[in-house]
Amino acid sequence: MALNKQQKEQVVEGLRNNLMHSQASFLVGYKGLTVSQMESLRSELRKQGGKLQIAKARLMKRAAEGLEGAQDIVNQFKDQVGIVFTSEEPPAIAKILNQFAKGNEALELKAGFLDAQVLDRQGILRIAALPPKEVLLAQICGTIQAPASGLTRVVHTSVVRVLWLLQEVQKKKQS
């Protein structure tokens, strides 16, 4: 279906807006995926706050013009490529894409865009390997808490030793 000029401008503006306001974007090649596979992928992505958008490569290039770091990814806008946007958890979306690609060879992880930095396929796989946000926060809390817990144990042990010494001194004086 051919788009008129106004519709093309709306697509470009929507893509640009998504690129600017997403925490991360991932380019995927979808050549060979069936409609049901695409719907399955879209459904999984939506559950984690992701959105797959398909548009002509020329419109994607136009949307990326002038965006910081996007010029490095423009050369990937060719063939049948879609952009997955996420406003929430980039690792969760990368994990979904990686798992889906393992089960569907037609889906190809091409590149990513995170914090104005371009990621290659290996970068996406590294992000996919990250634990969920809650686990990372728990690890950080544990790391921060560890010195305080250690200090508390040392102080407690020292106080117990002093009390023990005082009891021993008192016992000697009484005997």
* Residues 6+ away with beta carbon under 8 Å from 57: 77, 78, 79, 81
State residue 52's pLDDT score: 93
User: What is the chain's percent helix, strand, coil content, to nearest 5?
Assistant: 60, 15, 25
State residue 1's pLDDT score: 60
Handedness of CA 83, 87, 91, 97 (dihedral sign): negative
Report if pTM > 0.85. no
CA distances from 32 to 47, 126, 136 (A): 24, 25, 36
CB atoms within 10 A of CB 141: 10
State residue 101's pLDDT score: 92
Q: Pick from 71-75, 93-97, 170-174 the range whose average pLDDT is largest.
A: 93-97
Mean pLDDT for all residues in the chain: 84
User: Looking up tokens 């407690």, which residue turns up?
Assistant: 156
Smallest Cα–Cα separation from 23: which of 102, 89, 112? Answer: 89
The answer, yes or no, to whether residue 42 has pLDDT greater than 90, is: yes
pLDDT band at 166 (very low <50, low <70, confident <90, very high): confident
Per cent of the chain over pLDDT 70 is 97
